Chain A
Amino acid sequence: MAKVYEVVKVFGTVGSPFAKRVQIALELKGVQYTFFEEDLRNKSELLLKYNPIHKKVPVLVHNEKALVESLVILEYIDEVWGSDQPILPQQPYHKALARFWSKFIDDKYMPAITKAAFSANKEEREKGSEETVEALEHLENELKDKFFGGESIGVVDIAAGHIAFWLPAIEEAVGLKLLTSDKFPKLHKWGHEYTNHPAVKKNLPQRERLVAFFKARYASIITASK
């Protein structure tokens, strides 16, 4: 449980999957925090002060010390508010695997889905779809239990959150069908389990708003490319 004198702030946007990672982790640890919603087209002075290098969300500010980059923040949260609900495995080899798959999600899956949905060029979008499916296949193969973390959710589940909630919203918004239940039965089931986990359910954006946001983004890209 968080001690009363600790001051924790999170800077993010309501729809950001990366900010949600941080919020879900804090939720799991029972840490209370204040959420500062940012308008990324008009970044606050505080955000620029806490993250001068990348100027992005999320930022975790713990007793006035700023931390950025969601995966770095997750490890920090685990180390500071440890024990009860570990986010990373203790055993070095399993820890290395957890880091590997979290990074895979950021390095391979995220760019692929962005390409698949929001590239201006049709061929690029098709290539993105192929790459997304390939990434999902690797993750489908890797999933062996209820969660990537085993019986309880871990860092890979938290990192993969986009697949459980944002991906279906993107699919609906732009007309893609990538995460099908016949091709990805384990991931499909995982998505359902993950989004229904109490710590996650509390921290998901409104689906309709997310779909509308993605629809608008897609429309502006298609218009611009004409």
Chain B
Amino acid sequence: MEDEIVLLDFWPSLFGARVRIALAEKGIKYDSKEEDLRSKSPLLLQMNPIYKQIPVLIHNGKPICDSLIVVQYIEDVWNDRNPLLPSAPYHRAQARFWADYVEKKIFELWSKVWTSKREEQEVAEKEFIEALKLLEDQLGDKTYFGGDNLGFVDIALVPYYGWFKAYETFGNLNIESECPKFNAWVKRCLQKESVSKSLPNQHKIYEFSVELRKKLGIESVGI
């Protein structure tokens, strides 16, 4: 019997992108259902009643929610190819730790940068860059956080890139010059089809960012 796999998604979502990349890495075929987050479908509300959020992976009718939990699920089920996590427990724990760091710290600092008023922008940007530098240290000389192959931490982090890049026109961030190692890592990730095909077009993210900032009433520097 063939597997039925549906992904409830929203094209700009970096959380959705994580799942898209994982599915692509494992070569899994699936149906994508685009959600309108201003008017959530009955299916979404039924499949994720607690958070009412995308992404939701529905595997043979059973829903799995929360992007990093979905990625781990994909890893656990399709464990015969392209491992996304290392095999040794200590290294697995490290990968989980850093993915959790991205999930909590990067999200928190990035939210501050994104919504900061002019006076707070400089401090927020500085803290954010420091966090990226910490991740650069963690990457070290490796090709990816996962080593020779794309892994859990790469998948957790790379979808943020489009948003970071879009923000550069609004603020005083220049990721390429401030975090060249991070930038080089992004470029390597983008060379992988599983990543490039899963991330939205850069210009579309930029346009979406502009609209979102207008809606949220965030003043933008430089436009």
Contact = CB atoms under 8 A, between A and B. Distances in A.
B134 A65 contact: no
Given A69-B97, A69-B100, A93 B64 contact: yes
Given A92-B73, A96-B69, A96-B73, A72 B64 contact: no
B97 A96 contact: no
A53 B62 contact: no
Contacts of B62: 93
Nearest to A78: B89
Contact of A67 (B73, B76, B90, B101): B90
A138 B93 contact: no
Interface string A61-103: 0100101110011011001100000000000110110011001
A80 B89 contact: yes
Contacts of B70: 96
A211 B72 CA distance: 39
A18 B126 CA distance: 31
Contact of A72 (B73, B77, B93): B93
A104 interface: yes
B65 interface: yes
Interface residues of B, number: 21
A50 to B, nearest CB: 12
A99 B69 contact: yes
A168 B164 CA distance: 44
Interface string B79-108: 000000000011011001100110000000
Contact of B66 (A53, A69, A73, A100): A100
Interface size class of A (residues with CB under 8 A): 20 to 34
Contacts of A96: 64, 69-70, 72-73, 76
Given A67-B90, A93-B64, A138-B50, A72 B72 contact: no
Contacts of A103: 66, 69
A223 to B, nearest CB: 29
Given A53-B101, A99-B69, A92 B77 contact: yes
Contacts of B93: 67, 72-73, 75-76
Nearest to A72: B96
Interface of B: 50, 59, 62, 64-66, 69-70, 72-73, 76-77, 89-90, 92-93, 96-97, 100-101, 134
Given A62-B90, A99-B66, 8 more contacts: A53-B134, A67-B93, A69-B100, A76-B92, A79-B89, A96-B72, A100-B66, A138-B50
10 contacts: A53-B134, A67-B93, A72-B96, A75-B96, A76-B89, A93-B59, A93-B62, A96-B64, A99-B66, A99-B69
4 tightest Cβ-Cβ pairs between the two chains A and B: A92-B76, A79-B89, A76-B93, A96-B73
